[in-house]
């Protein structure tokens, strides 16, 4: 067994919790091999480099072994090599949702007017354009 489907492999080595999540990630273009998005039916081989995007983070793995069935995490550890740079693994570098102000309305104030909505959208766009320091 030197080839298997990419969605099966991603599920078997525990990169995704379910096989359907792995399939959906492939459909959404979040799984790449050689910088090209692949379908869930792509047949993966040893020594290929797989790039996976999960949320804001991008992971890079080198396929060392092919498995189709899920097994214990200790046995799976030698089936791939994590090539993700350390700075990409640092989740603290990402802006936290807790630091972004949220527009709130008084209870019973009703729906916002067009003008209020435009002001809220402008505030949101201004916040999205900010750059955050890593300090």
For the cut 90, the answer to whether the pLDDT of residue 7 exceeds it is yes
With 0-12 / 13-18 / 19 or more C-beta atoms within 10 angstroms meaning exposed / middle / buried, residue 65 is middle
Domain residue limits, the chain: 4-93, 97-128
33 confidence band (pLDDT: 50, 70, 90): very high
Q: Compute the average pLDDT of residues 112-121.
A: 90
Q: What pTM was estimated for this model as a whole? A: 0.65
Query: Residue 50 in contact with residue 5, Cβ under 8 Å?
Result: no
Can you tell me the distance from the alpha carbon of 30 to that of 28, in angstroms, rounded to the nearest whole number?
A: 6
22, 11 Cβ separation under 8 angstroms: yes
Out of 2.60.120.10, 3.10.290.10, 3.30.930.10, 2.60.120.560, select the CATH number for domain 4-93. 3.10.290.10
84-97 mean pLDDT: 66
Whole-angstrom Cα distance, residue 51 to residue 59? 6
Q: Taking residues 105-133, what's their average pLDDT?
A: 82
Q: How confident is the model at residue 42 (pLDDT cuts 50, 70, 90)?
A: very high
Contact (Cβ atoms closer than 8 angstroms) between residue 10 and residue 24: no
- In this prediction, residues 6-22 reach a mean pLDDT of 94
Q: What angle do CA 14, 20, 26 make, to 5 degrees?
A: 85
């Amino acid at each position: 067994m030197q080839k298997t489907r990419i969605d099966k492999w991603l599920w078997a080595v525990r990169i995704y919790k379910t096989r359907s999540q792995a399939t959906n990630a492939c459909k959404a273009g979040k799984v790449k091999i050689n910088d090209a998005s692949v379908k869930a039916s792509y047949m993966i081989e040893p020594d290929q480099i797989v790039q996976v995007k999960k949320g804001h983070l991008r992971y890079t793995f080198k396929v060392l072994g092919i498995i189709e069935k899920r097994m214990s995490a200790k046995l799976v550890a030698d089936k791939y090599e994590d090539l993700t740079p350390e700075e990409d693994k640092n989740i603290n570098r990402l802006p936290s949702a807790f630091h972004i102000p949220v527009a709130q309305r008084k209870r019973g104030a009703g729906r916002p007017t067009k003008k209020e909505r435009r002001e809220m959208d402008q505030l949101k766009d201004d916040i999205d354009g900010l750059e955050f320091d890593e300090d």
